Amino acid sequence: MVVPSSPTATKAMRIPTIDLSMERSQLSQSVVKACEEYGFFRVVNHSVPKEVIARLEEEGGEFFSKPSHQKRRAGPASPFGYGFTNIGPNGDMGDLEYLLLHANPLSIAQRSKTIANDSTKFSVVVKEYVEVVKEVTCDILDLVVEGLGVPDKLALSSLIRDFHSDSVLRINHYPPLKVKTKGNKNSIGFGAHSDPQMLTIMRSNDVGGLQIYTREGLWLPVPPDPTNFFVMVGDVLQVMTNGKFMSVRHRALTNTLEARMSMMYFAAPPLDWWIAPLPEMLSPPQNRSLYKPFTWAQYKQAAYSSRLGDSRLDLFKAQLDTHLLSSSPSHFQC
C-alpha cells in the first residue's frame, strides 16, 4: 500500500516535551496544554529503567527474527497473539507484523507459552514493562485531572489501576523495505487513525516512521527517541474532557532500509465502565455533553465494526439519534 499524496510539514515544528521532574503545578498545566493543542507529547525523566525497556525490545526482536512458520504458532491474533499484514477485519492492510497482549498478568503468562521458547522469561519481562509503563500512565492521568481542576485526583487513573482494566500491550514490527515503491513513495506500515482508548504510551527503536496529523492539516514526522516515551490522547479521553482534548490521528510509514519496532501501552477502562464527560467539563459556558454516554465495550464494538480511519466518535455525538449498540464486548485494538 502506498501513501496517498498529502501535505507534510516542510519546516521544523516543535513537539511538546513534558519533563516529569518539573514542579508539579507547572507540570500539570503543561500536560493539559499539550493535550489541548496537539493531543500528543514526549515524556522525559520518566523514571522507567533503561534495562526494562531494553529487555522487552530484546524479547520482541528475538520473536520477530524467527522463521514465519514458528511465529505463526502464536497466532492468528483473535485478537491476542501474533498477526501480520491485516490490521483489522475490515480490509485494512499494512506492512507490519505484531504481537497483541492483554495487560492482565494471567493473560500474559498464558499467551507467552505460544510466543517464546523460554515462556517464563518472556512473561516476566512483559509484566515488568507493563507495570512500570502503567505507573507512568497513571501519573500523567493524575496530572491531567489536577490541571483540569477535578477534585477527585484519581478520577482517571483509578480506571487503569482497576483489576478489570481492559488495557493492552502491542508490539509492532515493520520490516525494512526491500524494494523502493514506484515513484519513490513511502509505504504505509499502519494507516491513519486515532486510538480508541484513553491514552497511548509509545516508544520505538531508533528508526523513524511515526507521523502525527496536526491541527493545521499537516503530517508531522516524529523523530525517534528510543529512551523516552510519546503520549497520545485517545478517543475516550476526548469524550471524558467533553472535547477539550482531541484524540490525535497518526500513522506509521515504512520508508527505510532498517526495521522499526514500536511498543504501545493502550490504557483503557473496564469493559462495563460508562464513558461520559467529567462533571467539571460540563460547567458553563459548555454546560452540555457533546456525547451520549456509552460503555467501553460498546465503543470497542463500534470500533471493531468500522474501518481503521473512520471517525468512530461521530456515532456517539449527542445530536445524533443513533441506534442502541449492543453491550457485548469485542476485541478491537488498533
Cα 74 to Cα 58: distance, rounded to the nearest angstrom: 18
pLDDT at position 5 over 50: no
Predicted pLDDT at 330: 35
Q: Do residues 261 and 64 make contact, with C-beta atoms less than 8 angstroms apart?
A: yes
> Which element (helix H / strand E) includes 55?
helix 50-64
What number of residues does the chain have?
334
Place of cell 453491550: 327
User: Which residue has better confidence, 151 or 179?
Assistant: 151
Catalytic residue among 260, 288, 307, 312: 260
**How buried is 282 (Cβ within 10 angstroms: 0-12 exposed, 13-18 middle, 19+ buried)?**
middle
Of the ranges 44-53, 73-82, 114-123, 322-331, which one carries the lowest mean pLDDT score? 322-331
Of the ranges 5-14, 113-122, 196-205, 318-327, which one carries the lowest mean pLDDT score? 318-327
Confidence of residue 76 (pLDDT cuts 50, 70, 90): confident
Confidence of residue 172 (pLDDT cuts 50, 70, 90): very high
pLDDT digits (tens, 9 = 90+) for 83-93: 988 776 666 77
Q: Which of 322, 318, 36, 307 is nearest to 192 (CA)?
A: 307
pTM for this structure?
0.89
Highest mean pLDDT among 135-139, 211-215, 284-288: 135-139
pLDDT at position 327 over 60: no
Mean pLDDT of 37-54: 95
CATH of 40-50+68-102+134-316, one of 2.130.10.10, 3.30.70.260, 2.60.120.330, 3.40.50.10490: 2.60.120.330
- For residue 269, give every residue at least 6 positions away whose Cβ sits within 8 Å of its Cβ, in sequence order, or none: 159, 160, 162, 165, 166, 198, 236, 275, 296
Residue boundaries of the structural domains of the chain: 40-50+68-102+134-316
Q: Do residues 137 and 267 make contact, with C-beta atoms less than 8 angstroms apart?
A: yes
Catalytic residue list contains 260:
yes
Predicted pLDDT at 7: 64
pLDDT at position 332 over 70: no
The pLDDT > 90 percentage for the chain reads 72
Predicted pLDDT at 150: 96
Of the ranges 84-88, 159-163, 239-243, which one carries the lowest mean pLDDT score? 84-88
Cα 18 to Cα 31: distance, rounded to the nearest angstrom: 7
pLDDT digits (tens, 9 = 90+) for 173-214: 999 877 654 544 568 889 999 999 999 999 999 999 999 999
Q: Which of 166, 128, 167, 159 is nearest to 266 (CA)?
A: 167
Mean pLDDT of 213-220: 91
